[in-house]
C-alpha cells in the first residue's frame, strides 16, 4: 500500500487543517524507541511531547507490555464491567486506589481523558441526587418532595479560563477555550470559567499571597453568582496545561478546597496529564495536597500503550451509591477492558521497577536549569512548570511582556515554529490557545542528553523566530 496516498485519501487527522496535506506530505511515524520516533522516510525525531503528554515510560517497552497484552488476550480478550468484574480490572482498581492519595479508593474505568471528565461531571450531578433527601449545609433538600421526583438542583460546573478538558460535549463545555467551543454551541449547561493561575501577566509588584487571594475571590464570586445550591463540580488541573504549564501559587489549593467544602461542591482534579509521574508523583494531587473528591486520569495510566482512563473517587463520593437501589447510571463498553487493564498494570509495574518517579524528582532541577538557558533569547519571556512538564511563553517585548497579536501568532506558530521544529527533528508543541507557548513534556525516561538536545534545537529555532518576528 502507498501509505502517503492512502493517508491523503482516507485518514482524517484530529485537530488538523487537512487542506495542508493536499500538496504536502502527511507526516507518518512508523516506529519509536526510548524518547525517539522515526518517520516513514527514516528521519528521527526527539519526542519532547511524549506523544501527547502521555508516553511516560517512553517507546521502548513494547516487547514487555506486548507480552502482558498477549497473555491477557489468550486468557480473556474481552469482558465488560457492566455488572461483571474480571481479574485485571479488579487488580488495576486496587493498584490505582493504593497509589492515589487519601481515601480516593473507588475506580470507574473509561476509555480516555474526555470520557473521564464527562463521567466526573455526570457523577457529580448524580451524587447530589443519590445523596437525596439528606440535609446539606444550606438546609435544602435535594429532592422535590412535592412532585416526588428528584430535581437536579446541583448540576453546574466551574472550571478555569483557557483550560483544556477534552472534546465530548460535556468535557467540551467544561473547556475554557472559546475558539474550541463556539462551533458546537449550544453546549451543556451550565459552566463558568474563573481565572487561571497564570502569573506572568499580573502586576510584577503583586505578592504571591495577594495573587492567591485574588484567585480565590474570583472563584467565590463565581460560586455565589451561579448560586452555590446549583453548583455540583469545580474541575481544575493541578498544573494547567493549555496556556502553558500554570503552577498553583502557595495556598491556592487549600483555598479552593475550603471553598468547595463551604459551599458543598465536589472538587475534581483533572489529572489526565499530571497523574502517573509527569510531576514526579503518582498524582499531582499528592504533590500539591489538593485533597480532591474526584480524580480524572488517562494518558499516563498506561503510558498510552493502551486506551484506558479512570475516574477515581473518595469514600464520601461512593457512599450514596452503596445504598439500596442506588446506581451510577453510566457505562462505556470498553471501560476496564481486560487487555487495556493488563497493559496499565504492566506500565505501573515498569514505572515502579525503573524508578521513574524518583528519576523525575532527581532530574527536575537540572531539566529546569537547562531549559532556563533559553530565557537569554529576547523572544522567551517566561519559563513555567514543574517535574517534566514545562512551557516557554514567547513575547514580542520582554521588558513590557507584550505578546503577539492573533495575526502574528499565526505567522509565528503555524507559519514558522511548528514546521521549523519538525524539520529540525524535534517534536514539541507550539501552542497559541492562550498566549503563544512552546510546550515541553518529554517521556519520563529522558535525561540530560535529551534536555541538551531539546535546548540546542529550540535555541536555534527560537533565535531565528525572534529575528523574523522583529524584522516583520
Ligand X SMILES: Cc1ncc(COP(=O)(O)O)c(C=O)c1O
Which residues bind to ligand X, rule: CB under 6 A? 52, 112-114, 117, 164-166, 237, 241, 270, 272-273, 298
Minimum CB distance to ligand X smaller for 166 or for 249: 166
CB of 133 to ligand X, least distance (A): 34
CB of 303 to ligand X, least distance (A): 13
CB of 403 to ligand X, least distance (A): 23
Minimum CB distance to ligand X smaller for 273 or for 350: 273
Minimum CB distance to ligand X smaller for 197 or for 241: 241
Phi/psi for 79 (5° steps) reads -150, 165
**From CA 196, how far away is CA 401, in angstroms rounded?**
18
Residues with Cβ within 8 Å of residue 324, at least 6 apart in sequence:
none
Residue in the shown chain whose Cβ atom is closest to ligand X: 113
User: 3-state secondary structure string, the chain?
Assistant: CCHHHHHHHHCCCCCCCHHHHCCCCCCCEEEEECCEEEECCCCEEEECCHHHHCCCCCCCCHHHHHHHHHHHHHHCCCCCCCCCCCHHHHHHHHHHHHHCCCCEEEEEEECCHHHHHHHHHHHHHHHHHHHCCCCCCCCCCCEECCCCEECCCCCEEEEECCCCCCCCHHHHHHCCCHHHHHHHCCCCCCEEEECCCCCCCCCCCCCHHHHHHHHHHHHHHHHHHHCHHHEEEEEECCCECCCCCECCCCCHHHHHHHHHHHCCCEEEEECCCCCCCCCCCCCHHHHCCCCCCEEEECHHHCCCCCCCEEEEEEHHHHHHHHCCCCCCCCCCCCCCCHHHHHHHHHHHHHHHHCCHHHHHHHHHHHHHHHHHHHHHCCCEEEEEEECCEEEEEECCECCCCECCCHHHHHHHHHHHHHHHHHHCCEECEEECCCCCEEEECCCCCCCHHHHHHHHHHHHHHHHHHHHHHHHC
Dihedral sign, CA of 47, 51, 54, 56? Answer: negative
CB of 56 to ligand X, least distance (A): 14
CB of 271 to ligand X, least distance (A): 8
Q: Is the peptide bond before 186 cis (omega within 30 degrees of 0)?
A: yes
**From CA 460, how far away is CA 223, in angstroms rounded?**
46
CB of 274 to ligand X, least distance (A): 8
Minimum CB distance to ligand X smaller for 302 or for 314: 302
| C-beta separation of 283 from 98 below 8 A | no
Question: Crossing angle, helix 356-372 and helix 338-353, to 10 degrees?
Answer: 70
CB of 296 to ligand X, least distance (A): 7
Minimum CB distance to ligand X smaller for 243 or for 255: 243
CB of 111 to ligand X, least distance (A): 8
CB of 229 to ligand X, least distance (A): 27
| C-beta separation of 300 from 275 below 8 A | yes
Minimum CB distance to ligand X smaller for 156 or for 160: 160
10 burial type by CB count under 10 A (0-12 exposed, 13-18 middle, 19+ buried): exposed
Minimum CB distance to ligand X smaller for 168 or for 411: 168
Minimum CB distance to ligand X smaller for 81 or for 114: 114
Minimum CB distance to ligand X smaller for 81 or for 304: 304
Minimum CB distance to ligand X smaller for 306 or for 395: 306
CB of 400 to ligand X, least distance (A): 31
CB of 433 to ligand X, least distance (A): 11
CB of 55 to ligand X, least distance (A): 13
Minimum CB distance to ligand X smaller for 58 or for 170: 170
Minimum CB distance to ligand X smaller for 65 or for 273: 273
Amino acid at each position: 500500500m502507498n501509505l502517503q496516498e492512502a493517508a491523503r485519501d482516507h485518514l482524517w487527522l484530529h485537530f488538523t487543517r487537512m487542506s495542508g496535506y493536499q500538496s504536502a506530505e502527511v507526516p507518518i511515524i512508523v516506529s519509536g524507541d526510548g524518547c525517539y520516533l522515526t518517520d516513514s522516510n527514516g528521519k528521527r525525531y526527539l519526542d519532547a511531547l511524549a506523544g501527547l503528554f502521555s508516553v511516560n515510560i517512553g517507546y521502548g517497552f513494547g516487547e514487555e507490555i506486548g507480552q502482558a497484552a498477549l497473555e491477557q488476550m489468550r486468557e480473556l480478550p474481552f469482558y465488560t464491567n457492566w455488572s461483571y468484574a474480571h481479574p485485571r480490572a479488579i487488580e488495576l482498581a486496587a493498584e490505582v486506589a493504593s497509589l492515589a492519595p487519601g481515601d480516593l479508593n473507588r475506580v470507574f474505568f473509561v476509555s480516555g481523558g474526555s470520557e473521564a471528565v464527562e463521567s466526573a461531571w455526570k457523577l457529580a450531578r448524580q451524587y447530589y441526587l443519590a445523596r437525596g433527601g439528606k440535609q446539606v449545609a444550606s438546609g435544602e433538600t435535594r429532592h422535590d418532595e412535592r412532585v416526588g421526583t428528584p430535581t437536579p438542583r446541583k448540576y453546574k460546573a466551574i472550571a478555569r479560563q483557557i483550560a483544556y478538558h477534552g472534546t465530548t460535549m460535556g468535557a467540551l463545555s467544561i473547556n475554557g477555550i472559546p475558539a474550541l467551543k463556539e462551533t458546537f454551541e449550544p453546549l451543556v449547561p451550565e459552566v463558568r470559567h474563573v481565572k487561571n493561575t497564570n502569573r506572568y501577566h499580573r502586576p510584577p509588584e503583586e505578592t504571591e499571597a495577594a495573587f492567591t487571594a485574588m484567585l480565590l475571590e474570583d472563584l467565590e464570586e463565581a460560586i455565589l453568582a451561579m448560586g452555590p445550591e446549583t453548583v455540583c463540580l469545580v474541575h481544575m488541573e493541578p498544573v494547567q496545561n493549555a496556556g502553558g504549564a500554570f503552577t498553583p501559587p502557595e495556598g491556592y489549593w487549600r483555598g479552593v478546597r475550603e471553598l468547595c467544602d463551604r459551599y458543598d461542591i465536589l472538587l475534581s482534579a483533572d489529572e489526565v496529564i499530571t497523574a502517573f509521574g509527569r510531576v514526579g508523583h503518582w498524582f499531582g494531587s499528592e504533590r500539591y495536597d489538593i485533597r480532591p473528591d474526584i480524580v480524572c486520569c488517562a494518558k499516563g495510566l498506561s503510558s498510552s500503550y493502551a486506551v484506558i482512563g479512570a475516574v477515581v473517587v473518595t469514600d464520601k463520593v461512593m457512599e450514596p451509591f452503596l445504598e439500596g437501589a442506588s446506581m451510577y447510571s453510566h457505562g462505556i463498553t470498553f471501560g476496564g477492558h481486560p487487555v487495556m487493564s493488563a497493559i496499565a498494570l504492566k506500565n505501573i509495574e515498569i514505572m515502579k521497577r525503573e524508578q521513574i518517579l524518583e528519576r523525575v524528582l532527581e532530574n527536575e532541577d537540572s531539566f529546569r536549569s537547562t531549559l532556563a538557558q533559553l530565557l537569554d533569547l529576547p523572544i522567551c519571556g517566561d519559563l513555567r512548570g514543574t517535574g517534566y512538564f514545562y512551557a516557554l511563553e514567547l513575547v514580542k517585548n520582554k521588558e513590557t511582556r507584550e505578546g503577539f497579536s492573533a495575526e502574528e501568532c499565526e505567522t509565528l506558530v503555524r507559519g514558522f515554529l511548528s514546521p521549523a521544529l519538525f524539520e529540525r527533528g524535534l517534536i514539541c508543541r507550539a501552542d497559541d490557545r492562550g498566549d503563544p507557548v512552546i510546550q515541553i513534556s518529554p517521556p519520563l525516561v529522558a535525561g540530560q542528553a535529551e534536555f541538551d538536545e531539546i535546548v540546542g534545537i529550540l535555541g536555534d529555532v527560537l533565535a531565528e523566530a525572534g529575528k523574523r518576528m522583529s524584522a516583520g
